[in-house]
């Protein structure tokens, strides 16, 4: 199954979810071709983007996202995944609960999104800038304390930017950058406040 022209991404994702194909990271590259990087980031960061406690799971996904983002920065066009991660399966819980919710969100975005400055989004400069932004935001997701909720906005920024790449909507990309930046600022402010409090107590 290859992505079809004029077929909404929500439909492609739903077809993949219902298909008998293995739901692994390695399988994404075969199904979504040149957009496999963005699709992978969406799936990895969607769980962290939810405003619910996720424990250490998001940190593992954050590490994977950091390593994959380096491939985007250096200009790879196909997704390379270490052998130890190739068979990493998307859990049944994600398949039955998270991804259907994600598909509903994408369908809602597709109602209002349209191609805007698509050629800019596909330029080598912006693709590498996108990879760098994912690297920074994923690092903050990984570094966020468990159960703090500080990983939510950086992860949401990655999800929105990645959906912007998939939907070819530069405005959505900017919204993702803003959301991610707010998340980083909030993390730094709270971190500075916590450090000041600790130093005063000591």
pLDDT at 159: 95
DSSP, residue by residue, the chain: --PPTT--HHHHHHHHHHSSS--BHHHHHHHHGGGHHHHHHHHHHHHHHSSS--TTHHHHHHHHHHHHHHHHHTT-SS----HHHHT-BPPHHIIIIIHHHHHHHHHHHHHH---BSHHHHTSHHHHHHHHHHHHHHHHHHHHSPTTSSTTHHHHHHHHHHHHHHHHTBHHHHHHHHHHHHHHHHHHHHHHHHHHHHHHHH-
pLDDT at 24: 75
pLDDT at 108: 92
pLDDT at 53: 53
pLDDT of the chain along its 202 residues, tens only? 444 557 888 888 888 888 877 777 777 766 676 678 898 899 888 888 765 555 556 777 888 899 889 999 998 877 777 777 666 777 676 777 778 888 888 999 999 888 888 888 888 899 999 999 999 999 998 887 766 777 889 999 999 999 999 999 999 999 999 999 999 998 888 877 776 777 777 7
pLDDT at 52: 55
């Amino acid at each position: 199954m290859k992505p079809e022209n004029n077929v909404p991404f929500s439909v492609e994702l739903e077809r993949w979810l219902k298909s008998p194909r293995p739901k692994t990271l390695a399988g994404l590259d075969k199904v979504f071709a040149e957009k496999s990087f963005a699709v992978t980031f969406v799936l990895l960061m969607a769980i962290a983007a939810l405003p619910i406690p996720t424990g250490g799971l998001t940190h593992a996904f954050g590490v994977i996202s950091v390593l994959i983002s380096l491939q985007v920065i250096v200009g790879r066009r196909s997704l390379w995944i270490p052998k130890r991660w190739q068979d990493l399966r998307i859990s049944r819980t994600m398949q039955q609960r998270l991804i259907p919710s994600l598909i509903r969100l994408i369908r809602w975005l597709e109602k209002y999104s349209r191609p805007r400055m698509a050629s800019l989004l596909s330029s080598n400069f912006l693709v590498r800038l996108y990879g760098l932004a994912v690297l920074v935001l994923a690092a903050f997701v990984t570094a966020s304390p468990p159960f703090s909720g500080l990983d939510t906005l950086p992860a949401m920024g990655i999800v929105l930017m990645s959906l912007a790449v998939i939907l070819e909507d530069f405005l959505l990309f900017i919204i993702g950058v803003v959301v991610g930046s707010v998340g980083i600022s909030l993390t730094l402010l709270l971190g500075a406040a916590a450090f000041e409090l600790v130093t005063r107590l000591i």
